[in-house]
Structure 1
């Protein structure tokens, strides 16, 4: 499958969330995470896409490096978490999380499918997003894990 470009919003290890503001053409601090909570991997989006929540599709970048807000990476999609997010007002929308690996990664060069990630890594990613949303008074529910082919179809 062809690579997709991912733009990093919040880097791995950050305890704060940035959002890209397209109208202002800049990144803006959106929130500070509770003490001890950090992004487990780089978190960003695929430009030119639109998810069920109206924002570009969300991507978790599995890599040995840490990017920075605005860093563009060509990545291969390895799968996704199909998920629903319920807002504080009770409105529920699809808000999937795509999983990707930079094409230049050496440590994860052999990872081409979500099945290549350990159950521990998958659980950490899922629990991060559940806790992250709980802190904001929202609910995040993983509906299923899907393979790279099905994830790529959702992007297209």
Structure 2
């Protein structure tokens, strides 16, 4: 298997109960919301640098690793796959909003991991359903996509 390197920018580190977003205009990371008591991000959350999704934003990615990161950290990753999903906004508009899952190339603990367990997929789907529910949005998982087809759908419009 050929490993394709993906540049991932972390917005919100694992274990955080605060959600941060990168603001391209100011070039700062901005606190966008505080999660309900007891709810935290299970893994680092960010975006694939230079990518663009159906909603116009960079593609979302969860990074599974054994080390700590921070908002703004750029990590070279390899993809394990993606949770295909639709997101219905409060205004009723629906768009694809998949969640990619990656591992840092520098990881020692996860270097031999090539797949995501069904249990982990279900837990992540549940997290995103509850996370979006807090904002009056509806996150609907549509199944899991393996790494090869997930790589194929990533678009880099500036390249």
Aligned length: 153
SS of the residue corresponding to residue 79 of structure 2 reads strand
* 1:123-142 map, 5 Å: 123-142=122-141
Task: Tell me if 1:54 matches 2:53.
Answer: no
Question: Shift of residue 66 of structure 1?
Answer: 2.4
* 1:73-112 map, 5 Å: 73-112=75-114
Question: Shift of residue 134 of structure 1?
Answer: 0.6
Where in structure 1 are there 5+ consecutive unaligned residues? Answer: none
Q: TM-score of the superposition, structure 1-length normalised?
A: 0.95
SS of the residue corresponding to residue 90 of structure 1 reads coil
Once the two structures are superposed, residues 61-100 of structure 1 have per-residue CA deviations (whole angstroms, 9 ceiling, x without a partner) of 0111221000000000110011100001110001011110
SS of the residue corresponding to residue 8 of structure 1 reads strand
Once the two structures are superposed, residues 85-134 of structure 1 have per-residue CA deviations (whole angstroms, 9 ceiling, x without a partner) of 0001110001011110000111111112xxx3222221111111000001
Once the two structures are superposed, residues 130-151 of structure 1 have per-residue CA deviations (whole angstroms, 9 ceiling, x without a partner) of 0000111000011120000000
Residue in 1 that maps onto 2:153: 154
Residue in 2 that maps onto 1:145: 144
Contact 2:8 2:74 in 1 (8 A): yes
Name the CA distance, whole Å, in 1 between partners of 2:151 and 2:113.
15
Contact 2:80 2:116 in 1 (8 A): no
Name the CA distance, whole Å, in 2 between partners of 1:101 and 1:50.
20
Name the CA distance, whole Å, in 1 between partners of 2:125 and 2:23.
26
Name the CA distance, whole Å, in 2 between partners of 1:143 and 1:31.
26
Where in structure 2 are there 5+ consecutive unaligned residues? Answer: none
Q: TM-score of the superposition, structure 2-length normalised?
A: 0.93
